[in-house]
Amino acid sequence: MFARDEKNYPKGAVDKAAVGEASVDYVARAQALVPTIEAAADRIEAERRIVPEVIAALQKAGIFHMLLPPSLGGGGADIVAFNEVIQTIAAADASTAWCVGQQVASTQAAGYLQPKIAREVFGPPHGTVAWGPPAGAKAVVTDGGYVVNGRWRFASGSGHCPWIGGHSAVIERDGKPRLDDKGRPVLRTMLFRKEQATWTDIWHTIGLRGTGSNQYEVKDLFVADAYTTWRDQPSDRTDDSALFNIPLLTLYGIGFSGVGLGLARASLDAFMTLATNKTGRAGRGLMRDNPVIQSELAKVAGGFNAARAFLRDMLEEMWDAVNRDGATLEQRARLRLAITGALDQSVRVVDFAYTAAATSAIFNGSPFERRFRDMHTVTAQGQAHMSNFESAGQALFGIEPMQRL
């Protein structure tokens, strides 16, 4: 449906094999980028942004557009590869993985925009969107679009994204909120260029510092109707590719659970190395020979591997379903269980590694302290909230939850 706009692809700006070929091994591409990302990790933390050479490498590899269908110039990858790419990157740097997860998932909006607009926003190698939840935003209906006033927070990756989205309540010309057929306020996401917003540096956090998830604001900004959409809105849909059968929030969960699993795997690997070489307390031999360490390691490793395997199974099942007749409510519930369960087990692993490493974990630059901070920042996001188990439980009983799975 979408034609690739060649004039937006400067020669040499992107690896041609990175776009339009579903057979590309994006996990291998991510693995090849690990040395570059690891080398930049301290700068990413200190500068509180994903540094330019890492962004350039991700763009050249086609990572940001890996899920987009080939008709849009994307890689047509599946959601299993998406999750594994994020795991791979997170083991090198969680902030980079978090931004990639959000930017890759946000390309789902392309299926709900008119083709010309989708090509404009997502067509170039750097075509990415950042957005965050509103802290008060409204869009007043006017001729040809909306006049938008609002403030939003937590726009992860805004430093490298040329496009920004603002989720806004729609207000009629008479000042009344627009309501849907169930009496709920209608929301639309307004897409606009980053330079049209005023930015405030609010992202001073314990972890994921490199995401630069700052606050932005617009006043009396006109946004044409063609540059607006709402996630998973059937009336907006313009492309029938399988990607667009998966709810946007579910795609975020697939990406962010990869961040948790990558942090957990890296923490566990670092602890295994430490325990194999470090003497325990009071000269009682190597840490690896301590029965308590052995049993606790086995527990968290078992939980981690079980959660990771369950998630992979559900991602494979979901991808098969959305390429056929669509996912059932039970399948969507089990995927939500797998996503939230993976994040829950990831925290357990990171906490174990940090605690068991004792004084080796508490110094800046250790293999544990930043991952501990990053992991506990990940858990503040909605995908890790325990309320997700409630929604999944409702669905397992056959009750459609308020939160779409």
pTM metric for this prediction: 0.92
6-122 and 129-233 share one CATH topology?
no
What CA–CA distances, in Å, run from 224 to 149, 228, 260, 307? 14, 7, 38, 44
Q: pLDDT at residue 5 above 70?
A: no
Question: pLDDT at residue 269 above 90?
Answer: yes
Write the pLDDT tens digit of every residue in 153-212: 999 999 999 999 999 999 999 999 999 998 999 999 999 999 999 999 999 999 999 999
pLDDT at position 9 is: 27
- Asked if 114 and 238 touch (Cβ cutoff 8 Å), the reply is yes
Task: Identify the bridge partners of residue 237 per DSSP, sorted by sequence position.
Answer: none
Distance CA 168, CA 217 (A): 12
CATH class of 129-233: mainly beta
Task: Say how far apart CA 237 and CA 113 lie, in whole Å.
Answer: 7
Pairing assessment for the beta strands 214-224 and 163-171 based on DSSP bridges: unpaired
pLDDT at 388: 84
Contact 213, 158 (CB under 8 A): yes
Q: What is the pLDDT of residues 220-243, one digit of tens each?
A: 999 999 999 999 999 999 999 999
Q: Give pLDDT, residue 281.
A: 67
- 213 pLDDT above the threshold of 60: yes
* 147 conformational bin, left if phi > 0, alpha if psi -120 to 50, beta if neither: beta
CATH superfamily of 6-122: Acyl-CoA dehydrogenase/oxidase, N-terminal domain (1.10.540.10)
The predicted structure's pLDDT at residue 19? 42
pLDDT tens-digit series, residues 75-97: 999 999 999 999 999 999 999 99
**Beta-bridge partner residues of 142:** 145
Residues in the chain: 405
Q: Is residue 301 a contact partner of residue 268, using CB atoms and an 8 Å limit?
A: yes
Distance CA 138, CA 177 (A): 9
d(CA 248, CA 100): 15
Structure confidence at residue 124 as a pLDDT band (50, 70, 90): confident
Reading phi first (left if > 0) and then psi (alpha if -120 to 50, else beta), residue 156 is in beta
Domain locations in the chain? 6-122, 129-233, 246-396
Q: What is the tens place of the pLDDT at every residue in 270-302?
A: 999 999 998 876 667 899 999 999 999 999 999
CB contact set of 64 (below 8 Å; sequence gap of 6+) = 58, 100, 103, 104, 107, 125, 127, 128
Beta-bridge partner residues of 217: 151, 198
CATH number of 246-396: 1.20.140.10
